[in-house]
Amino acid sequence: MSRLESLGSTDPANLAEMEALGHALEAYEDRQGHAPSARIQLAAQGAEHGPGYDPRTDHLRPVIDFLLAKGNRPSHWWHEDGFWFDQGGVLHYTFTDPIDAAELREHFAFPPSITLSDDGTIKDGPNYFDISYDRPAKPFSFELPQTGS
């Protein structure tokens, strides 16, 4: 589609190519059942934008807002904003339900410094920040697992 956008609509020499590209786009949309949606390009780092803005996390706020809008809830609800630090200084935002990595890949384009694992864990190494599913803890037991005899 970038070729279609780059063609000057005022130049009559481009008319045939513009029509052909337009027909190809319509055919694609018909096969898919909808227009192709653009993914949201995420920044590698937040920018300073005034009081209350956190450059360490706000560039991933669209992902958090997307997951919240889908009905997922923060697992550390007792923290005012859902964020919490571990003893190593890593900032976390964890959810109560699993995160669908394929759905996130459809909606967002992640920069190389931010990784999205197949289990839905998002790690922003340079900012020491991650977003993940807070898996329920398994009860501790002294029982050994059963082995086949």
List the structure tokens of 84. 């919490």
**pLDDT at 8 exceeding the cut of 60:** no
3-state secondary structure of 87: coil
List the structure tokens of 46. 């937040």
Share of the chain above pLDDT 70, in %: 66
Q: Sort 96 into a burial class: Cβ within 10 Å, 0-12 / 13-18 / 19+.
A: middle
Digit-coded pLDDT (tens) for 55-109: 788 889 899 999 999 999 898 777 667 788 888 888 889 999 999 999 999 999 9
Exposed e or buried b per residue across 59-82, where buried means at least 16 C-beta atoms within 10 angstroms of its C-beta: bbeebbeebeeeebebbeeeeeeb
